[in-house]
A and B are shown apart, each in its own frame.
Chain A
Amino acid sequence: MIALSKNKIDIDKVIEAVASDQAGAIDVFIGTVRNRTKNKKVLRLEFEAYESMAIKELEKIKERAFEKWPILKIAIVHAIGVLEIGAVPVVIAVSTPHRKDAFEACQFVIDELKKTVPIWKKEFFEDGEVWVSSHP
């Protein structure tokens, strides 16, 4: 399961998508919207995606993970649109026969997602808004 979601992500569904009788572990990463950035109060976030390319890049990350670890299933769902504090922008689930591989692969997927997948986050503050990571 690889998807972008305009609605609230159903975390249970993402976990169910990687269920396997051969699995000894499912590792789940849940990203959440934090209320501060560099000591500045964040009101909410907005995510925008180049949807077709984002799906393609997520598939590439999934394939690379499958090459590196003995993975059974991977699910990645990223939300787009406005997200309030505490909401969930991303859920990643990885099932493997043994837990160490699930932990490592799940971390790999979120780390790579942040580097290559064309999704953009705008932070809204009390005194303005900014596209995250745009400038040095």
Chain B
Amino acid sequence: MVVQLLLFGITKDIIGKTPFSFEIQGENTAGNLLKQLIKQYPTLKELNSIAIAVNGDYSNESTLIASGDEIALIPPVSGG
């Protein structure tokens, strides 16, 4: 399944422009998506943290992704 990823902060420097098209191979879960993204962009692993948001909520590894969901890559936040 192809997803459109919203990128923010440093992930735009690592991956490129947002939104970014990415094809998930295998199961459509947030955990699998993150694993494949890290494989393709190993520098993501050097960050303090990296999370996937599905429809504006933090996901866990088993969160299912359906076509049309809004998916975002969340690098370490630094508001305030």
A contact residues vs B (CB 8 Å cutoff)? 31, 47-50, 52-54, 56, 78, 89-90, 110, 113-122, 131-136
Q: Report yes or no: A52 in contact with B56, Cβ–Cβ below 8 A.
A: yes
Q: Report yes or no: B78 in contact with A120, Cβ–Cβ below 8 A.
A: yes
B contact residues vs A (CB 8 Å cutoff)? 6, 8-10, 13, 46-48, 53, 56-58, 72, 74-80
Q: Given A135-B46, A135-B48, decide whether A50 and B74 contact each other with a Cβ distance below 8 A.
A: yes
Q: Nearest residue in A to B53 (C-beta to C-beta)?
A: A53
How many residue pairs link A and B with beta carbons under 8 A? The number is 79
Q: Report yes or no: A121 in contact with B56, Cβ–Cβ below 8 A.
A: no
* Residues of B with C-beta under 8 A to A117: 77, 79
Give the 8 A-B residue pairs with the shortest CB-CB distance, closest first: A119-B79, A120-B9, A132-B78, A53-B56, A131-B10, A121-B78, A133-B78, A114-B80
